[in-house]
Amino acid sequence: MSVLVAISTDFLTAWSFWIGVGILAGIYGIFTLGLQLNVGFTGILNFGQAGFMAIGAYSAVILVVTVGVPFLLALPISMLITMAVGLLVGLPALRLRSDYLAIATIAFSEVVRIAIQNSDSLTGGNQGTISLELENERFFTDTWFTISDWISANIFDQIGLTDPDFLNLPLLAVIWLTLALIAFGLSRLVRSPWGRVLRAVREDEDAARALGKNVFAYKLQSLAIAAGLGAIAGWFLVLNLQSVNQAPFEPIFTFIGYVILILGGLASFAGVLVGTIVLWTLLEGLRFLDLPLDGGQIAALRFIIVGLVLILLVSFRPQGALGKQEEMVLSD
Amino acid sequence: MTEAATAATNGEAMLEVEGVFKQFGGIHAVRGASFDVKRGSITALIGPNGAGKTTLFNIVTGFYRPDSGRIVYDGKSIFGKRPHRIARLGMVRTFQITKALAAMPVIDNMMLAATDQPGEHLPSLLTRPLAGRKREAEVRERAMGLLGTFNLEAKADDYAGTLSGGQRKLLELARALMPAPRMVLLDEPMAGINPTLGRRLLEHMEELRQRDGVTFLFVEHDMDVVMNHSDEVVVMGQGETILVGTPAEIRADQRVIDAYLGGGAPDAAPTATEQRATESSPPAQEGTDVRR
């Protein structure tokens, strides 16, 4: 990768690079919107979001490649599957106190990942889904490339963005459009009476129960919706990578979601958008640092700098970019 | 006069508690609670600390599952039902340690408590958004009315966490009244609020009972309040109901005095051997006994 050694002014015009960063930011933005609904609005510590993303990604690929379901039909089905898994996980796990729920969900996500790694015939194992695609001579991304070419030809080529650098622009556009629509929908949803019950559950489950609210049902709904959003992030992840193995579903990616939450602020969906842009710009932009270090050292330095930013943030602005300070300090 | 208020006059039971037991590990928190709360009455539940009053509240409202016994509310058994189910039957409670939903505005605290809001359920929210919005307007009006009654309307848009302790108590009571409950259980409503607010709270209870026939059961330590404002008093000691009677009867009863002074319930009086053991034990041990 020549970008790694580029001097610091080149990075501004490295279009394909920044489009790639935008795609990652968008995917993890969608992923984190689900976490925001759980953590920021319902008070449930879901640490299994990477597991839901894995189920969404793999079920969509398996449906298209192995089963032969049309791409656009496979997506909603895989989302329903992931939401059903969310309900199944929630039924026992949401009865636990919040810290135990965190442990249970992280365990769930690891079970999913390791199962994927070891069921070669179903998922391609460590080889990834490419082995399934070659075997079945059917590729998950085929339909998407048709759509992508159409968008390029009819929109981006028309405005002069014909350079190969802009090849991934349609994916970026579709991801951010999806992200914006979901963020808008969720903001509407949490301002409804339904969202008011969610916030009451976050504040005090017993008080909500005493007022006749079925707390458990609301927590289940919240988790299932987050799982569904994890599935959407999973599809885009596969479209971006073109084939997928278990590596992008390690628990660290759930933690990246939490970093985005903290950066952007709790209980704000717009904050997730800000958080994901800041995080990925920092993480990837720091690749352009021209330091006398080798690649591995620079990679480690990126995380050190992100860590420093987080520490400074929680010291000086604990509510994050768009969180409400009052909601952090007030308690019974 | 409403139907409920008429019913109040004939002394029919709104809540029947019979032989309720609850054990936590080796601790018998409630061991034989039996009493009736008459429809439209204001009934006080008193007893020394540790007598099991709050545990009994938690059992009646479904927060704890009793080991055995019978609990009948408005003619229907609510034994072992979950809290939100019981609340939906019109029995609303408050908590000893106030549970204001701190990071939510006061008005949201109030509107949350409304019943029959189709906007609270995802399917109806998405298919009939207008029904939810229409109901929301009614709910807001009722909430503002109740906040006005408790002099909290100026605080409607503030976070509940910014209210004083006394204001939170009032908010919790106002919130409990939002769903137009038929029975309200208050756990130490007077604790921590100034006498003027306390008097107003009592006036409201009286008014609601008169006008809407609401039944009240409340835990209280202030004997003036208990003696002057309740129709009936239930006395608990060491997990049992010792006595049920009018304030005048309670005042005169030796067993109540014993329970408060740590003598134990009459049938739990120590045997001669136990008495000797107590006498020979160090003073710290005696201190524990007195507190019970």
Nearest by CB: B83 against A189, A210, A332: A210
For residue B274, tell me if it sits in a domain: no
- Examine the domain organization and report whether B122 and B205 are in the same domain: no
Q: For residue B223, what pLDDT is reported?
A: 87
Q: For residue B26, what pLDDT is reported?
A: 85
Contact A214 B119 (CB under 8 A): no
Question: Which among B99, B108, B124, B167 is the top mutation candidate for probing chain A, defined by the most A β-carbons within 10 Å of its own β-carbon?
Answer: B99
For residue B281, tell me if it sits in a domain: no
Q: For residue B201, what pLDDT is reported?
A: 86
Which band of pLDDT confidence, cut at 50, 70 and 90, is reported for residue A250? very high
Q: Are strands B42-46 and B215-219 parallel, antiparallel or unpaired?
A: parallel
For residue range A96-132, list pLDDT tens digits in order. 988 899 999 999 999 999 999 999 999 998 889 998 9
Question: Which among B85, B112, B139 is the top mutation candidate for probing chain A, defined by the most A β-carbons within 10 Å of its own β-carbon?
Answer: B112
Backbone angles phi, psi at B181, to 5 degrees: -70, 160
Q: Which domain holds residue B149?
A: 105-162
B33 touches chain A (CB under 8 A): no
pLDDT of B262 over the 60 cut: no
Contact B84 A326 (CB under 8 A): no
Task: Looking at the complex, report in whole angstroms how far the Cα of residue A85 sits from the nearest Cα belonging to chain B.
Answer: 19
The C-alpha atoms of residue B234 and residue B246 are separated, in whole angstroms, by 9
Task: Looking at the complex, report in whole angstroms how far the Cα of residue A311 sits from the nearest Cα belonging to chain B.
Answer: 25
For residue B154, tell me if it sits in a domain: yes
Q: Name the token pair of B152.
A: 């909290």
For residue range B269-279, list pLDDT tens digits in order. 444 444 444 44
Question: Which among B54, B58, B84 is the top mutation candidate for probing chain A, defined by the most A β-carbons within 10 Å of its own β-carbon?
Answer: B84
The C-alpha atoms of residue B231 and residue B222 are separated, in whole angstroms, by 15
For the residues A223-246, what does the mean pLDDT come to?
A: 96
Backbone angles phi, psi at A160, to 5 degrees: 85, 5
| 72-91 in chain B: CB under 8 A from chain A | 82-84, 87-88
Radius of gyration of chain B (CA): 21
Question: Which of A179, A174, A285 has the alpha carbon at shortest distance from A239?
Answer: A174
Q: For residue A292, what pLDDT is reported?
A: 79
- Examine the domain organization and report whether B139 and B168 are in the same domain: no
- Examine the domain organization and report whether B187 and B89 are in the same domain: yes
- Examine the domain organization and report whether B75 and B9 are in the same domain: yes
Residues of B in contact with A200 (CB under 8 A): 101, 104, 112
Judge contact between B142 and B174, C-beta under 8 A. no
Contact B63 A209 (CB under 8 A): yes
Radius of gyration of chain A (CA): 20
CATH code: domain of residue B30? 3.40.50.300
Judge contact between A311 and A52, C-beta under 8 A. no
Q: For residue A179, what pLDDT is reported?
A: 97
- Examine the domain organization and report whether B16 and B63 are in the same domain: yes
Q: For residue A203, what pLDDT is reported?
A: 94
Q: For residue A8, what pLDDT is reported?
A: 54
* H or E, element range at B37: strand B27-38
pTM: 0.88
- Chain A residues within 8 Å of chain B (Cβ atoms): 189, 192-194, 196-197, 199-200, 202-204, 206-215, 221, 326-332
- Which residues share a beta bridge with B73? B15, B76
B239 touches chain A (CB under 8 A): no
Q: What is the mean pLDDT of chain B?
A: 84
Nearest by CB: A196 against B61, B62, B111: B111
For residue B61, tell me if it sits in a domain: yes
Percent of chain B with pLDDT over 70: 85
* Neighbour-count burial of A252, counting CB atoms closer than 10 A to its CB (0-12 exposed, 13-18 middle, 19+ buried): exposed
Q: For residue A14, what pLDDT is reported?
A: 81
The C-alpha atoms of residue A20 and residue A1 are separated, in whole angstroms, by 14
For the residues B87-92, what does the mean pLDDT come to?
A: 95
- Examine the domain organization and report whether B172 and B248 are in the same domain: yes
Judge contact between B128 and B157, C-beta under 8 A. no
- Examine the domain organization and report whether B189 and B86 are in the same domain: yes
Residue A156, Cβ neighbours under 10 Å: how many?
Answer: 17
3-state secondary structure of B232: strand
B167 touches chain A (CB under 8 A): no
Looking up tokens 């459009």, which residue turns up? A177
For residue range B186-221, list pLDDT tens digits in order. 999 888 888 888 888 888 889 999 999 999 999 998
Contact A212 B95 (CB under 8 A): no
Which band of pLDDT confidence, cut at 50, 70 and 90, is reported for residue A9? low
- Examine the domain organization and report whether B67 and B180 are in the same domain: yes
For the residues B4-30, what does the mean pLDDT come to?
A: 79
The C-alpha atoms of residue A28 and residue A258 are separated, in whole angstroms, by 10
The C-alpha atoms of residue A41 and residue B101 are separated, in whole angstroms, by 13
B93 touches chain A (CB under 8 A): yes
Residues of A in contact with B61 (CB under 8 A): 210
- Examine the domain organization and report whether B86 and B171 are in the same domain: yes
Looking up tokens 């959407």, which residue turns up? A232
| CA A283 from centroid of its chain's CA atoms | 16
Residue in chain B lying closest to A192 (CA) = B119
For residue range B100-141, list pLDDT tens digits in order. 899 999 999 999 999 999 999 999 999 999 999 999 999 999
For residue B288, tell me if it sits in a domain: no
B120 touches chain A (CB under 8 A): yes
Residues of B in contact with A330 (CB under 8 A): 102-103, 159-162
Question: Which of A243, A240, A288 has the alpha carbon at shortest distance from A26?
Answer: A240
For residue range A177-212, list pLDDT tens digits in order. 999 999 999 999 999 999 999 999 999 999 999 999
Burial call A65-87: b when 16+ CB within 10 Å, e when fewer: bbeebebeebbeebbebbbebbe
For residue B28, tell me if it sits in a domain: yes
Nearest by CB: B103 against A192, A209, A330: A330
Q: For residue B292, what pLDDT is reported?
A: 32
Contact A212 B111 (CB under 8 A): no
Residue in chain A lying closest to B131 (CA) = A193
Task: Looking at the complex, report in whole angstroms how far the Cα of residue B12 sits from the nearest Cα belonging to chain A.
Answer: 25
CA distances from B247 to A24, B72, B123, B224, B251 (A): 71, 24, 51, 10, 6
Task: Looking at the complex, report in whole angstroms how far the Cα of residue A198 sits from the nearest Cα belonging to chain B.
Answer: 9
For residue B174, tell me if it sits in a domain: yes
Contact A194 B122 (CB under 8 A): yes
Q: Structural domains in chain A? A: 2-150+178-329 (1.10.3470)
Which band of pLDDT confidence, cut at 50, 70 and 90, is reported for residue B11? low
- Examine the domain organization and report whether B255 and B139 are in the same domain: no
Residues of A in contact with B63 (CB under 8 A): 206, 209-210
Which band of pLDDT confidence, cut at 50, 70 and 90, is reported for residue B261? low
Residue that terminates a domain, selected from B129, B145, B162: B162
Q: How many CB pairs under 8 A join A and B?
A: 104
Q: How many domains does chain B have?
A: 2
For the residues A310-323, what does the mean pLDDT come to?
A: 88
B103 touches chain A (CB under 8 A): yes
Question: Which of A43, A30, A72 has the alpha carbon at shortest distance from A328?
Answer: A43
At how many degrees (to 10) do helices B283-291 and B272-280 cross?
Answer: 120
Task: Looking at the complex, report in whole angstroms how far the Cα of residue B9 sits from the nearest Cα belonging to chain A.
Answer: 28
3-state secondary structure of A179: helix
pLDDT of B1 over the 60 cut: no
Percent of chain A with pLDDT over 70: 95
The C-alpha atoms of residue A68 and residue A70 are separated, in whole angstroms, by 6
- Examine the domain organization and report whether B63 and B204 are in the same domain: yes
Q: For residue A164, what pLDDT is reported?
A: 83
For the residues A39-68, what does the mean pLDDT come to?
A: 96
Q: For residue A319, what pLDDT is reported?
A: 87
Q: Which amino acid is at A222?
A: S
Question: Which among A37, A189, A196 is the top mutation candidate for probing chain B, defined by the most B β-carbons within 10 Å of its own β-carbon?
Answer: A196
For residue range A268-312, list pLDDT tens digits in order. 999 999 999 999 998 888 877 777 777 788 778 888 888 998 899
- Judged by phi (left if over 0) then psi (alpha if -120 to 50, else beta), residue A139 lies in beta
The arrangement of strands across the sheet holding B215-219 comes to B91-93, B183-187, B215-219, B42-46, B232-237, B240-245
The C-alpha atoms of residue B80 and residue B78 are separated, in whole angstroms, by 6
- Examine the domain organization and report whether B57 and B179 are in the same domain: yes
Q: For residue A12, what pLDDT is reported?
A: 65
pLDDT of A33 over the 80 cut: yes
For residue B93, tell me if it sits in a domain: yes
B179 touches chain A (CB under 8 A): yes
pLDDT of B243 over the 60 cut: yes
Which band of pLDDT confidence, cut at 50, 70 and 90, is reported for residue B266? very low
For the residues A85-98, what does the mean pLDDT come to?
A: 94
Contact A207 B99 (CB under 8 A): yes
